[in-house]
Amino acid sequence: MNNFWEEKTLEEMSSDEWESLCDGCGLCCLVKIEDEDSGEIFNTTVSCRQLDIETCRCCDYKNRLIDVPMCLQLTIENLPELSWLPESCAYKRLSNGQVLPDWHPLVTKDHKSVHEVGISAKWFAQSEEYIHPDQLADFVIEDIALDSDEK
């Protein structure tokens, strides 16, 4: 039997299957800033204060949408608008017709594999808890992750 992510479209997946696609990289939990003139959104190396940088998991996933204004729920509908998602993001990859990379936890059956290949925020993020909002522009990064085909 094929894996669900190989035989179903994103639209056909159950909510559990959809949730399990997340590789746990934490890259979508980086604080973003918007260029006021162009509207372009930039990622920074600064992470949401609710991100546990060591595990790249949200400390309060259940209440995240209530407590954190910048947090959003990834859906089929908003996926095409989220240009700032990393190329490695499983949702972005599948919606672009790509396969999951070899290191994805669903493939390896090991949730740590995303960290072991160096994809995750664990290796560079610093919590916004320690950064003044006026300094955010100093932490902008162009590419938050290599295209996972390069790994």
Query: What does the binding site for ligand SF4 look like in residue numbers (CB under 6 A)?
Result: 22-29, 48, 50-51, 58, 64, 68, 71, 74, 85-86, 89-91
Report whether 33 contacts 70 (CB < 8 A): no
What residues form DSSP beta bridges with 141? Answer: 43
Radius of gyration of the chain, Cα coordinates, nearest whole angstrom: 15
Q: Rank residues 8 and 64 by Cβ distance to ligand SF4 and give the closer one.
A: 64
Write down the least CB distance from residue 37 to ligand SF4, Å: 25
Write down the least CB distance from residue 85 to ligand SF4, Å: 6
Q: Rank residues 64 and 111 by Cβ distance to ligand SF4 and give the closer one.
A: 64
The whole-angstrom separation of Cα 21 and Cα 105 is: 9
Checking phi first, is residue 97 left (phi over 0); if not, alpha (psi -120 to 50) or beta?
left
Q: Rank residues 5 and 91 by Cβ distance to ligand SF4 and give the closer one.
A: 91
Write down the least CB distance from residue 40 to ligand SF4, Å: 19
